[in-house]
Chain A
Amino acid sequence: MAGLSELASRLRTELGTEKVIDDRQELRTYECDGLAHYKVVPGLVVLARSTADVAAAVRACNDAGVPFVARGSGTGLSGGALPHADGILIVMSQMREILEIDRDGQRAVVEPGVINLQVTRAAAAGGYYYAPDPSSQQVCSIGGNVAENSGGAHCLKYGFTTNHVLGVEFVDPSGNVIEIGGKAPDSPGYDLLGTIVGSEGTLGIATRVTVKLTRAPESVETLLAGFDDTDAAGQAVSAIIAAGVIPAAVEMMDALAIEAAEEAVHCGYPEGAGAVLVVELDGPASEVDAQFADVKRLCDQAGAFELRVAADDAERALIWRGRKSAFAAVGRISPDYIVQDGVIPRTALPEVLRAIADLSGQSGVRVANVFHAGDGNLHPLVLFDDAVDGAAEAAEKVSGQILDLCLQHGGSITGEHGVGADKAKHMPDMFTADDLDTMQLVRCAFDPNGLSNPGKVFPTPRLCGEVPGRHRGAHPLVEAGLAEQF
């Protein structure tokens, strides 16, 4: 491909040879993200070390009309960092310096390749942490978190990435470096930051990120409750919320998920439980003590047959281990599985879980449920064996039907894993053509040539030359019968 080899030599000159990869074998390392069933070998890889590197690479792409895709740690589960065969993959993982921990100002300034958990580690000595905690926090990058607006178990109380990012240095798709936001709140103008967070790399590349640090809580209490079934556990969740308690986390697992976790990590969850809840409260000791008593009572009343309170951090870790290992653990009870990610209003949980059970029963496809019960973010694990004819298709179908259920209940097709390449086709199920068209106005403003991570998020990219939505339908005066148009 002539275009790309010219680009490669331009970038070698501008950035240095060691930062440009075009060896076919090496390129293969980057052919997919955490969603391994989509694979494309990138045309070229740039290992960026600085903002200038990113800007140079983007400018080169812009000049040549070549698409580019940013990649953080590559743990995304929606194919967001899936490369283009005729494009450049800009890898951010070597930009991994924590530039500043400003304890007094409760901010950290980091490069985008910094691993999420490293921010918390760096802030811990001063009594602070970085609140958004995706389960992948040991491996995923802050840049990837910004792009995906990542969430985690503690987001119910503390919010998502978007609530904790205050500024980015940003390379727009023309290669301009722009500062947006910073340590102070409310910078004047449109909230471009709020728009960029969660845009999955389609508006440009974050090259530096300013985040909020959160005071580490004085007290943390964690309990594990065993219930006969998910209905009872769901009732407990509703009762807790109705009592005005916002726990730091409320996680639920059903029987099949428990079975998988037991087999994998022997977490010793209550014997015979049809569902378990992990409930965590944190905050000032006086507050946590009062609320924790309520939570225990409410779980009891909802029919918990066993309540286990973590006496110390070691026991807390054990309780969480089962939950956190659930995805991986499922691999032990099924050769293959799909991790679905959908959202429903929390009050619809019992109904939707029953409907999922029905789908499973009718199709013979097993579904294990592990999820963030507090905010209605489901992660049904749809199990199958690829060696069995038609099994993958059946699982795909059930997985899609679960998303339909989420939408029927007023929910969303993704709560944290993003749309990426995987769910772009489902966007029209959730949004009208006009809704999508309006999002495209933003896309076209940032990226008129459509080079930044094209093919992700939106099912049909538009040409930005036409002015969307205008001159549609009849002239209002014609409509009103006051004029004619020929």
Chain B
Amino acid sequence: MTDVLDALQRATGGHAAVAGEADVAGGVPAKWVAAPGSTEEAAAVLRTAAAEGLAVAARGAGTKLDWGTPPRRLDLIVDIGRLDRVIEHAAGDLVVIAQAGVPLRTLGEQLAEAGQRLAVDEVVPGTTVGGMLATGLSGPRRMLAGAVRDLVLGVTLVRADGVVAKAGGKVVKNVAGYDLSKLVCGAYGTLGLVTEANFRLHPIPPAAAYVTARVPDAAAAYAAVQRMLHGQFVPTAVELDRPEPGGPVEIAVLLEGTEAGVTARTAQAVEALGDGAAEGPQPGWWGALPAGDVLVKVTTELTGTGRLLDGIEKAAPAAVRGSAGVGVLYASVAAPDAAGFVLALRDAAPSWQGSVVMLTAPPEVRSEVDSWGPVAGLELMRKVKDRFDPDALLAPGRFVGGI
């Protein structure tokens, strides 16, 4: 025990400790916490873990350590909070390189000074660059700018065996070698510890406006979203919110661009959205996830939104919100209804060609229903995991199919 702690302390220049009460991931307590201050230290930590057979989970801000299935076992939390430097902001190239522990908010503030942004919404306050990559979740703006995976240009990764590897680069256009940045994006830390990432940036548009409208039902919501998709006003985001099952649906559209352009496009969008549509402030629910015990992510083809809303309504009383413009919605439901809700949606999901993933839920729900559901290509994914982490040390059990 003390040998391990000593080794971790040596690896981190003293930034390692015996775990406290708060050092849990997905409800599983850890034995140690180590906080490397550089990629080299992170590598030393993972080499130690590999030598000792320690199961490891990374921790960013710890805002969503209970996402994904709880790890089967856990010895060491690698806290990336000390990796908090923006390494390079090449404003003229619209590129930034940041360490994984940088909070998205801090990064955003720094980029804004140069009139630029990483076009990923901070959906949950506190999110770090590493946590954002590992969970791979994107907010409303992904409709125009792309999801996190589309904006990441390169990563520095520490493998389970402590070897440091880089993939991609810091130029927007690059096809040399495999795109490992995408592979680790959304991998919940099961393939490696990300210590640094390079992103493509966008200029902050000078003007922005929101248009909202309330429609009575799922069919009307689908029709409204379709009009937004096929118009010529190029929305940055098209979101919807239905707080009550079977109730009215609020549609909200974000338009960004030049002053003159946004004025004209807003008028067009108001007209296209129809009855009761108006320009207004950002809706209070914009870019936040619906609150509730159990959070479920449901994806759909763009023509499936109506069927999806109906399916949710039939399955259980749930609140729904999300990016209708890309086909990603979040439903929240009370714990007692949750397992049946997820199973019913999974049965129906093929009719809108989507998937149903339970992001977070209390343990009793998790034990009733698999969080991830059926996964195409699972065998190949297992093979990838086995190559990267043959001893299953990185967040074992957290990911699809028990990976």
Residues of A within 8 A of B (CB): 102, 104-107, 127, 148-149, 151, 155-156, 159-160, 162-163, 172, 176, 178-180, 182-195, 197-199, 215, 217-218, 238, 241-242, 244-246, 283-287, 289-291, 343-347, 372, 375-377, 410-419, 423, 427, 430-432, 434-439, 441-446, 457, 467-470, 472-473, 475-477, 480, 482-483
Contacts and interface: CB of A to CB of B under 8 A. Distances in A.
Contact of B388 (A191, A416, A441): A441
Contact of B150 (A106, A159, A376, A457): A159
A108 to B, nearest CB: 13
B389 to A, nearest CB: 10
B177 A457 contact: yes
Q: Which of A102, A218, A347, A441 has the most CB atoms of chain B within a 10 A radius of its CB?
A: A441
B171 A475 contact: no
Contacts of A188: 355, 357, 372-373, 375, 400
- Counting from the closest, the 7 A-B pairs by CB-CB distance are A194-B182, A287-B261, A244-B203, A286-B264, A438-B165, A183-B301, A347-B92
Interface stretch (B22-30, B101-109, B230-238): B230-238
A346 B92 contact: yes
Contacts of B115: 244
27 contacts: A105-B304, A106-B229, A179-B377, A184-B301, A185-B147, A188-B375, A189-B372, A191-B136, A191-B187, A192-B380, A192-B384, A193-B182, A197-B179, A246-B203, A284-B265, A343-B174, A375-B172, A412-B176, A427-B177, A431-B177, A437-B165, A443-B178, A445-B386, A476-B162, A480-B11, A482-B6, A483-B3
Nearest to A218: B232
A110 to B, nearest CB: 16
Contact of A162 (B161, B182, B299): B182
A419 B176 contact: yes
A215 B166 CA distance: 36
Given A186-B328, A284-B232, 17 more contacts: A104-B226, A104-B303, A178-B380, A185-B327, A188-B375, A190-B381, A192-B381, A241-B203, A286-B258, A287-B257, A290-B258, A343-B171, A427-B176, A430-B169, A442-B178, A442-B384, A445-B387
Given A182-B353, A184-B301, A190-B183, A412 B171 contact: yes
Contacts of B268: 284
Interface in B358-403: 372-373, 375-381, 383-388, 390, 399-401
Contacts of B258: 286-287, 290-291
A434 B303 CA distance: 44
Contacts of B375: 187-189
Contacts of A245: 203
A149 to B, nearest CB: 5
A191 B380 CA distance: 11
Contacts of A435: 165-167, 177
Interface string B78-121: 00000000000010111100000000000000000001000000
Interface string B155-176: 0010101111111011111111
Contacts of A242: 92
Interface residues of B, number: 103
B205 interface: yes
Contacts of A438: 157, 159, 163, 165, 167, 180
A347 B90 contact: yes
B317 interface: no
A163 B326 CA distance: 13
A217 B231 CA distance: 10
A148 B174 CA distance: 11
A446 B383 contact: yes
B72 interface: no
Nearest to B263: A286
B307 interface: no
A195 B179 contact: yes
Interface stretch (B43-51, B59-67, B273-281, B332-340): B43-51
A347 B264 CA distance: 34
Contact of B178 (A198, A246, A469, A475): A198
B146 interface: yes
Contacts of A217: 232
B7 interface: yes
A415 B51 contact: no
B314 interface: no
Nearest to A481: B10
A105 B355 CA distance: 16
Contacts of A457: 177
Contact of B260 (A289, A343, A430, A469): A289
A439 B321 CA distance: 38
B204 interface: yes
Contacts of B15: none
A105 B162 CA distance: 44
B33 interface: no
Contact of B183 (A182, A195, A218): A195
Contacts of B179: 149, 162, 194-195, 197-198
A193 B373 CA distance: 19
Contacts of A148: 175
B352 interface: yes
B302 interface: yes
A191 B183 contact: yes
